[in-house]
Amino acid sequence: MENVSNVDKLESIKSFQSTISKSENALAQMTQKGANTTLLKKRLNALYIGLAMLKNVWNQRSHHYTQEDLAEARNVLTGLIPSIENTYAKLKAGSPQRTLLERRIKALELAVQAIDDFSNE
């Protein structure tokens, strides 16, 4: 994790913040409509944990998550990557959406790596 550039760190944190914001908005809309929010809540929690782990590694911020929380988040984050990669593959090279998904994939991979590194300490 030490070899991550400052640009990648910043982009990864921004990507997580953006994804969390979008997920929170979606959760509010789904709750208002009475839709089932179980999966979205699980993903949102994993995103919070992923962001906390990146901040833990790069900014020495503490976190309060258990090994079980981390394992669950790791599984959820890892599970998100293939669907994002599928969408990414369908987009035109150089498109803003493709760049956004590139950063999101990298951020998720770095968060999974941070969880793995922390869990193996």
Distance (Å, rounded) from C-alpha 107 to C-alpha 60? 18
Model confidence at 121, in pLDDT bands (50, 70, 90)?
Answer: confident
| Poorest-pLDDT segment among 11-15, 77-81, 116-120 | 116-120
Instruction: Give the model confidence (pLDDT) of 13-69 as tens digits.
Output: 999 999 999 999 999 999 999 999 999 999 999 999 999 999 999 998 888 999 999
Average pLDDT over residues 83-101: 95
Distances (CA, A) of 38 to 7, 23, 71, 73, 102: 34, 12, 18, 14, 27
Calculate the dihedral angle through the C-alpha atoms of 61, 62, 68, 74, rounding to the nearest 10 degrees.
0
- CB neighbour list of residue 66: distance below 8 Å, 6 or more residues apart: none
Q: The pTM is what?
A: 0.93
Domain spans of the chain?
6-119
Q: pLDDT value at position 34? A: 95
> For tokens 């994804």, what's the residue?
19
Nearest CA-CA partner of 80 in 49, 56, 58? 49
